[in-house]
Amino acid sequence: MKKLFITVLAIALFTNPAKSDEGMWIPLFLGELNEAEMAAMGMRITAEDIYSENHSSLKDAIVIFGGGCTAEVISGEGLILTNHHCGFGRIQSHSSLEHDYLTNGFWAMDKSEELTNPGLKVTFLIRMEEVTEQVLEGVELNMNESDRSAKIEENIIKIKEDAVKDTRYNALVKSFFCQNRYFLFINEVFEDVRLVGAPPSSIGKFGGDTDNWMWPRHTGDFSLFRIYADSANNPAKYSVHNIPYKPKKHLTISTRGVKQDDFTFIFGYPGSTTEYIPSFGVDLQVNYINPVRIALQGKRIDIYKQAMNDSPEIRIQYAAKLAGIANGWKKSIGENRGIMRLKTIDKKEAFELEFQEWAGTSEERRLKYRTLLDEFKKIYNELSPVYRNSIFLGESVFGIELIKYARTYRDMVNASKDKNAGVEKIQALASDLKKASDTFYKNYQVAVDKDVFIALMTALFSDKDQSELPAVLTRLYNNCDQDVEKMCEKIYSRSVFTSKEKLIPLLDNYKRPDYKILEKDIAFKIAVETGIFANSRYVSVISANSLKLDSLMRIYMAAQIEMQPMKNFYPDANFTLRISYGNVSGFNPSDAVAYNYFTTLEGIMEKEDPDIFDYVVDEKLKELYLNKDYGNYADQDGTMHVCFTATNHTSGGNSGSPVLDADGNLIGLNFDRCWEGTMSDIDYDISQCRNIGLDIRYCLFIIDKFAGAGHLIDEMTIVAD
Ligand code: ARG
Ligand code: GLU
């Protein structure tokens, strides 16, 4: 009796409808699952206004920008808005010493000045549809995993073909709820996307990596592009004859301002979350993967930062490299702190006890689920240390630029040894490598890399027994009297990859037998042999176990849904279009500290430091500030608001997503999360998890008042009062 009572209680505990604010919802089901709650929270439009296949809806204004960001259409002439950090690579590619758009910003004063971006695509979703039944057709319960996957793969190919036959669309099928359900996405891809405007980095990247992931934040993280189409308004490759795309929908912008508790929602493409994994999976992330990344990437970051502080040349050379590592590194630190603070592992373990009990309550459940957690445990026990070792080796060996770079010559060596590879292929490879070498050496400092080598190899040899390391490394280490500095000297004095002067003559005049020089090279050897070692020791174990985990997760996910029939489940992020909703709100990050929900230009002036690159303030911006020349964009309180936080559940990929108000108007541009809440990819907590958006009024102020690009504002549809 007592047992039954506990079980009932447990079910009640875990079946409360998901706390509002948590969740990345499928637009197709908003009407069914979320509309009532959204309305109760303050929304004044309908689910149909957000996502509809029958008439134009907000979804028609949302695109995937490039490979990993979101953007939205904000004018009837195909103008789109995304983050500065999403457009960064493109802005950089147009920059040179004469036209340094990264530093000074770029503004096309009419359409003829807009810059083309070969390879940049934006993707509209035409419609989505659940296709679980069709995907699982012919899949039997007792099928083994490989037959099952083969059948599913075969079905998916057919579904995609049928879906876009005789259309100009693309089709994509993705799994949801850990392969329990499947959805088809019909997309339209535009390929002529031009750069329209970007603020200087001192605005678009204000605070840099120092402020990244942090609140209070003052980054004007936006850039503008435009979609072009052919004369029939269809996608087309770049052509001078293309014209601005006429969208089905563009967002209306509200400059009414943002207040505490206002309802907001975010429409965009979150990349990946793992909310439903068992405690062992969280343990792997927090205790095996993140600590290694934090420690080893941290060493590199310290060395880069020191060198950048000491030399303006190195500051430029290493800025992008530092940003690349620092973003993930800082996220891992925040995630670990958040998971510790929320006691996520304990909470999951408590849930697993309840689960185990529930799984014993009927014969059918016993058969299906009783051994599930034990199987997970067994696999993670085997997987976790291997994962750690693999990441340790990868981060330390390939964190060294010389070795990572040497690895890019593998194809050349293989092709040179391959009798079937023709001369043209070899020549083409040599010319590609030569081009890549320009980029590499432009931003390479041997002295910095040597410091990294010493730090990372010291960490590797003190963490690992020699039997766990590739022979090429231990041999060198022992030949150098187990002295990492000697080892470093030996490698860097011998390798051809340490300087352009040594390498370029070889590439300029490359003949097939020259592969012997590359193959003998010490850095190349380390790269190749480490790769082979990692493959044989780690990669096969990891991939076999990951496959097993996928199939266990499929069952565990289904079981969690079955166990909590009243809970409104949302699927983990998988880079498909989702809606998150919540309220504008600050938070208390730690004892006695309260964060306001918005920042202002005053804060930019407070942070200003002409000697620190991240905190330089542009003269023009200062002048506007001193004259309080804010146009129509000041808040009612008279200040210029810059960023604001809300409780929307977001993740990487939501960069560039629109933050919308209760009427579906654009009020902000999402670009980050607060550090205290970065564990939301695993465990969302309304008291700590906040997305950070740029206040749209600051964005308009910069376009209009700072850049003098009022013609862009004229294209937009703005509601004020
Ligand atoms: N943290 C944000 C994201 O994950 C912004 C990254 C770009 N900004 C930077 N300072 N590195 O993408
Ligand atoms: N900056 C992230 C991105 O590039 C979004 C922030 C997040 O991870 O929530 O997508």
Considering every ligand atom, which ligand is closest to the CA of 319? Answer: 1
CA-207 nearest atom, ligand 1: 10
Residue 1 has pLDDT above 50, yes or no: no
Is pLDDT above 90 for 317?
A: no
| Main-chain phi, psi angles of 668, to 5 degrees | -160, 170
Q: Is the CB of 209 under 6 A from ligand 1?
A: yes
Q: Say yes or no: CB of residue 85 within 6 Å of ligand 1.
A: yes
**671 CA from centroid of ligand 1 (Å):** 7
pLDDT tens column, 647-687? 999 999 999 999 999 999 999 999 999 999 999 999 999 99
677 lines ligand 1 (CB under 6 A): no
pLDDT for residue 20: 63
Whether 711 is catalytic: no
Residue type, 706: F
Read off the tokens for 34. 């979320």
| Predicted confidence (pLDDT) per residue in 511-536, tens digit | 999 999 999 999 999 999 999 999 99
Whether pLDDT at 18 is above 70: no
Percent pLDDT > 90 in the chain is 91
pLDDT digits 0-9 by tens, 224-238 = 999 999 999 999 999
Q: What residues form DSSP beta bridges with 506?
A: none
**Annotated catalytic residue, options 202, 332, 655, 657:** 655
Query: Which residue's alpha carbon is at the smallest distance from atom 1 of ligand 2?
Result: 672
In the three-class reduction of DSSP (H, G, I as helix; E, B as strand; rest coil), residue 193 is classed as strand
**CA 573 to centroid of ligand 2, rounded, Å:** 13
Task: Check whether 125 has a pLDDT greater than 50.
Answer: yes
Q: Is 654 in the pocket of ligand 2 (CB under 6 A)?
A: yes
* Pocket mutation for ligand 1, best pick of 65, 83, 206, 212 (most atoms within 8 Å of C-beta): 212
Measured CA to CA, the distance from residue 618 to residue 638 in angstroms comes to: 21
CA distance 88 to 411: 30
Quote the pLDDT of residue 9: 38
Residue 212 CA: which ligand 1 atom is closest? 10
Q: Decide: helix, strand or coil at residue 129.
A: strand
Write the secondary structure of 561-575 as one string of H (helix), E (strand) and C (coil).
HHHCCCCCCCCCCCC
Give tens-digit pLDDT for 556-568. Answer: 999 999 999 999 9
In sequence order, what are the residues at sequence separation of 6 or more whose Cβ sits closer than 8 angstroms to the Cβ of residue 698?
Answer: 220, 601, 633, 640, 641, 642, 643
Where helices occur in 398-470 by DSSP H, the ranges are 401-407, 410-417, 423-442, 446-463
The overall average pLDDT reported for the chain is 95
* Ligand 2 closest atom vs CA 691: 9
- Give 297 Cα–ligand 2 centroid separation in angstroms: 19
Among the bound ligands, the one closest to the CA of 323:
1
Span from the CA of 72 to the centroid of ligand 2 (angstroms): 16
Q: Rounded CA gap, 458 and 581, in Å? A: 47
Answer yes or no: 94 catalytic.
no
What is residue 627's DSSP assignment? T
Does ligand 2 come within 6 angstroms of the Cβ of 653? yes
Integer-rounded Cα Rg, in Å, for the chain is 27
Does residue 5 carry a pLDDT above 60?
A: no
Distance (angstroms) between ligand 1 centre and the Cα of 655 equals 9
Q: How far is the CA of 143 from the centre of ligand 2 (A)?
A: 39
Ligand 2 pocket test target in 672, 680, 690 with most atoms within 8 Å of CB: 672
Q: Which pLDDT does position 93 carry in this prediction? A: 85
Mean pLDDT of 74-88: 97
Determine the average pLDDT of the residues in 149-153. Answer: 96
**What's the CA-to-centroid distance between 333 and ligand 1, angstroms?**
14
In the predicted model, is pLDDT for residue 13 greater than 50?
A: no
Residue 142: per-residue pLDDT: 87
Determine the average pLDDT of the residues in 50-62.
96
Residue of 21, 192, 221, 704 marked catalytic: 221
Give the tens place of pLDDT for each residue, 187-199.
999 999 999 999 9
The response to whether residue 395 sits with its C-beta less than 6 Å from ligand 2 reads no
Is the C-beta atom of 652 inside 6 A of ligand 1?
yes
Contact in structure between 665 and 252 (CB atoms under 8 Å): yes
Span from the CA of 505 to the centroid of ligand 1 (angstroms): 39
Alpha-helix runs per DSSP H in 252-343 = 279-283, 290-310, 312-342
- pLDDT band for 2, please (50, 70, 90 cuts): very low
Chain-centroid distance of CA 412 in Å reads 32
Nearest to 693 by CA among 599, 589, 601: 599
Residue 621 CB contacts under 8 Å (≥ 6 apart), including other chains: 202, 203, 601, 604, 706
Residue 480 burial class via C-beta count within 10 angstroms: exposed 0-12, middle 13-18, buried 19 and up: middle
Averaged pLDDT for residues 114-131: 97
Residue 11 pLDDT grade (very low, low, confident, very high; cuts 50, 70, 90):
very low
Name residue, tokens 């062992």: 280
Average pLDDT of 265-287?
Answer: 98
Span 398-447, pLDDT tens digits: 999 999 999 999 999 999 999 999 999 999 999 999 999 998 999 999 99
What per-residue confidence (pLDDT) applies to 538?
A: 96
- Which-ligand-closest: CA of 649? 2
Is ligand 1 within 6 A of the CB of residue 672? yes
284 vs 314, higher pLDDT: 284
Catalytic status, residue 655: yes
Catalytic option among 85, 218, 250, 641: 85
* Residue 537 DSSP one-character state: I
